[in-house]
Amino acid sequence: MANSTVQTGVSPAPKSLVARFIGIITAPRATYESIVAYPKWFGMLALCACGLAVLIGGFLMTKVGQDAWLDAALNSPFSGQVSDQQLQAMQRMAPYVGYGTVVYMLVLVPIVMVIISAILYAIFNAALGGNATFKQVFTVVIHAGPIGVLSQLFTVPLNYFRGTMTSATTLAVLLPMLPEKSFGAKLLGMIDLFLVWQLLVLSMGLAVLYRRRTQPIATALLVVYAIIAVIVAFVRRGA
C-alpha cells in the first residue's frame, strides 16, 4: 500500500512563489517534490485567482468583450427564443459582467478548489489508504493553477482580436469543417488542450504526494474528463 508525504532521503529545498509558478510549467515533478515537502498554498491561490480575475474580467470589461459575451449568450443552445425585453435586459447587464467575473474568480474559484481537493482527499486517503494531509492535497491542487493562468494569457488576447468568447485551444479548431451543431463538433469543443495539460500536471503532483505512478492517475483523471465531455456534448447537442 502506497504511503504519502515526503520521500526519504534529502528533502528538496523550498521554492519561492515565482519559482513554483514557473517550475510547475517547466519542471512540474521536481517542483511538486518541493511543494509536497513545504505545502504553502495561499500565495499561489491568490496569484492564480487574481490573475484569472484580471485577464478574464478585464476582457469582459471592454466593449469587445461585452459584445462577445452578449453574442455567446444569444447563441447559447440553452437561450431559446429571446424576446426584445430579454435582449434589452442582457444589453443592460453586459457592462457589469466583467465585475461579476472578477467576484466569481476571487470567491468561487477557491471554493471549487476546496471541493476538488476534498474529493481527491477522500479517494486517495479513504479509498486507497493514503495518509496525506488535506493541506498537502489542497496545495497540490492549487499548484496546477499556473497552467490555467497560462491558458488565459494565450486565449484572452486571441479572443479580443477575434471578438469572441469561443476558445481557440480546443480540438474543435482542428476540424472546422464539422457541422457546428453536430455531436462531434460539440465533443471536440469540450476537449481543451490546456485543461488536458493541467490534468497531467495535477496527476504528477498526486503521484509525488502519494508516491504512486503518474500514468494510472493521469488515465483516471482523463477518463473522468472524457465522460464529462461526452455528457455535456450530448446535452448541448440536444438543447
Confidence (pLDDT) at 58: 95
| pLDDT, tens only, 54-82 | 999 999 999 999 999 998 888 766 556 77
Q: Determine the Cα–Cα distance for residues 169 and 166; give it in Å rounded to an integer.
A: 9
Specify which of 2-11, 118-127, 172-181, 226-235 reaches the highest per-range mean pLDDT. Answer: 118-127
| Closest of 167, 211, 207 to residue 190, by C-alpha | 167
Give the model's confidence band at 170: pLDDT under 50 very low, under 70 low, under 90 confident, else very high.
confident
Residue 10: the pLDDT is: 62
Confidence of residue 4 (pLDDT cuts 50, 70, 90): very low
Which strand (E) or helix (H) includes residue 143? none
pLDDT tier at 180 (50, 70, 90 boundaries)? confident
pLDDT one-digit tens code per residue, 181-224: 778 888 888 899 999 999 999 999 999 999 999 999 999 999 99
Q: Is 216 helix (H, G, I), strand (E, B) or coil?
A: helix
Q: How many CB atoms neighbour CB 90 within 10 A? A: 16
pLDDT of residue 121: 96
β-bridge partners, 170: 192
Q: Which amino acid is at 146?
A: P
The answer, yes or no, to whether residue 129 has pLDDT greater than 90, is no
Q: Phi first, then psi: give them for residue 192, nearest 5 degrees.
A: -95, 130
Mind listing the pLDDT tens digit for each residue in 20-51? 999 999 999 999 999 999 999 999 999 999 99
Interatomic CA distance for residues 172 and 184, integer angstroms: 9
Gap between the Cα atoms of 122 and 205, Å rounded:
16
Alpha-carbon span 192 to 154, nearest angstrom: 13
Q: Residue 178 has what DSSP assignment?
A: S
Retrieve residue 168's grid coordinates. Answer: 481557440
Q: Does the pTM of the predicted model rise above 0.85?
A: yes
Q: Which residues have CB under 8 Å from 167's CB, separation 6+?
A: 155, 189, 192
Q: Report the share of the chain in percent with pLDDT over 90.
A: 65
As a dihedral over the C-alpha atoms of residue 11, residue 17, residue 22, residue 23, rounded to 10 degrees, the angle is 10
Question: What does the pLDDT read at residue 3?
Answer: 46
Query: CA-to-CA distance for 111 and 165, rounded, in angstroms?
Result: 24
Provide the residue type at 13 as one letter.
A
